[in-house]
A = this chain, B = another copy of it.
Amino acid sequence: MVYRSRPTSDSWRAALMGAAFLSTVSVVSAASAQTGPDVARAYREAHEPAIVRDFAELLSYPNRASDTEDIETVASYIAAKLESVGVSSDLLRVNDAPPIVYGRLDVPGATRTLGIYVHYDGQPVDPTRWTHPPFEPTLYTRAMEHAGQPIPFPSEGDPVDPEWRLYARSAGDDKAPIAAIVPVLRSFLDEGVRTTSNLVFFFDGEEEAGSPHLREYLETYRDRLDDIDVWLFFDGPAHQTGRPQLTFGVRGTMGMEVTVYGATRNLHSGHYGNWAPDTPLVLADLLRSMKDPVSGDVLIDGWYDTVDPLGEEERAALAALPPVDERLKRELGLRWSEGAPETLPERLLVPALTIRGLSAGNTGSLARNVIPNEATAALGIRLVKGNQPVHMRALVVEHIRKQGFHVVSDTPDMETRLANERIARVTGGGGYPAARASMADPYVREIITAAGEAADRAFGAGSLVLTPGLGGSLPLYLFTEVLGQPFVNVPVANHDNNQHAPDENLRIANLWYAIDLYAALLTMPANVVP
């Protein structure tokens, strides 16, 4: 299935015809509003139907990173949007990679520069699994799974229910921030509100493809980025409880594979069973030596030695996190969790070793009466701040050696087999390290304060959750290592946005929160003396 690059005449779009588009509407007065957040909210309240329609237009642009024509089209569209609200924009390029939508808004006298990261590409789609075509945005009265019904887009003056959901690919991941930052800047421009920081916009076009050119972009365009004091990563969903959150770190990741060897061929389990090395069992024994399945303790020497200890702020944030374990276990059909009574957020702050896959011989209807001559485990390793992939890989290899294995990197030849009792081939490694911002960093503290106020306003007092670290991995170390700049992850999407899945959606209330939040962040006081 091929999507048009530039939709112009589809039925959903017909429903929008005649509506005022955001970049062309005449702005109502917000003269009484004084603060940035007040200005932005007043603007939003006056233009809700147009903001929703503008978001829908943005979502109608297909955006898979590998579809070059599509990605160029949406990049140009976004750059033009930024230009329309006073941001000087262009497209950065390396080789044939999707361009970075770059933008800059300098403020005379500003003592701080914020980097704003968004990605405008989206996960590939399988339209057959979507209720509506993924690039024909569809508005619902609420989530489909809660009996939501499709409705037409609102016209100017119509009320907009914050429980509405807008369904389309990238609604939650990650076009919503673009749909929110543009009206904020529009309102500031209209009302003469100045941001308290210089702004650098850096919109990635291949995040869902693993950002393979990110390092090259950062190195090539370092001079356009090197005055950034702190990055705001506008990506990701709210806390599992539905409350807004800030997060301060991601784990690094590394994959390894271990294969142990028996005889040169599969052996008949009758003729040789009890005599030939039971290769899958040798592997089971090795894996068991690496980790306790109940406590989750990794038993590899030095595994925890390089972990950067948490600061006082991180420990306090952990203690204040709303509990999620019991709900999660019920949802997942689990009566226990590894390492209990430690909780999920605590467990995500130490390096993890899990088995991603096992294979040896066959199971099920394909099982045969053999002793398999090799057995393989794929290991998944998650790193936390302080762990270096090369070092952690070396610890794993050293552990395997200590269990009596001769470690090789290729399939062993006959000479190697006859010279060594236990042989393990270890491959993989690579990966990348974790990144974590210190919650004690002064720039980070300013962001926490501003976001807390916006969350109070949008969702109620004390609603903001501070999550020291996420379990998943993003190559944020590139920003911290290449540029040496801290970051805070500032998600706005509803937690149930079906990220990466069919029927991705954004709850309108979360778009309103994004507008409040960004307005607060763009006008927060600058207390740090540079």
Contacts and interface: CB of A to CB of B under 8 A. Distances in A.
A225 interface: no
Nearest to A349: B274
B420 A335 contact: yes
Nearest to A289: B288
A222 to B, nearest CB: 29
A472 B275 CA distance: 13
B332 A382 contact: no
B360 A355 contact: yes
Contact of A352 (B265, B269, B336, B378): B269
Report the copy number of this chain in the oligomer. Answer: 2
A157 interface: no
Contacts of A367: 255, 257, 356-357, 378
A2 interface: no
Interface string A344-372: 10011010111111111111101111111
Binding site secondary structure of chain A: mixed
A339 B274 CA distance: 7
A471 B357 CA distance: 32
A212 interface: no
A375 B273 CA distance: 23
Given A359-B363, A364-B257, A276 B332 contact: yes
18 contacts: A253-B270, A264-B333, A265-B332, A274-B352, A275-B337, A275-B344, A276-B334, A277-B337, A278-B291, A281-B293, A335-B418, A335-B420, A335-B421, A356-B362, A356-B372, A357-B361, A357-B363, A357-B367
Contacts of A357: 280, 360-363, 366-368, 372
Interface size class of A (residues with CB under 8 A): 35 or more
A272 interface: yes
A287 interface: yes
Among A281, A339, A366, A421, the one with the most B-chain Cβ atoms within 10 Å of its Cβ is A281
A296 interface: yes
A350 B280 contact: no
Which 7 residue pairs are nearest across A and B when measured between Cβ atoms?
A: A357-B361, A270-B472, A333-B417, A273-B352, A280-B355, A284-B284, A263-B332
Among A356, A368, A472, the one with the most B-chain Cβ atoms within 10 Å of its Cβ is A356
A473 interface: yes
A217 B512 CA distance: 81
Contact of A284 (B287, B352, B364): B287
A262 interface: yes
B470 A271 contact: yes
B334 A274 contact: no
Given A268-B471, A369-B356, A277 B338 contact: yes
Contact of A472 (B268, B362, B371): B268
A421 B334 CA distance: 7
Contacts of A419: 335
A22 interface: no
A358 B285 CA distance: 13
A44 interface: no
A257 B367 CA distance: 9
A89 interface: no
Contacts of A278: 291, 293, 296, 338, 354-355
A432 to B, nearest CB: 12
Contact of A281 (B272, B275, B288): B288
A79 interface: no
B347 A358 contact: no
A386 interface: no
B378 A262 contact: no
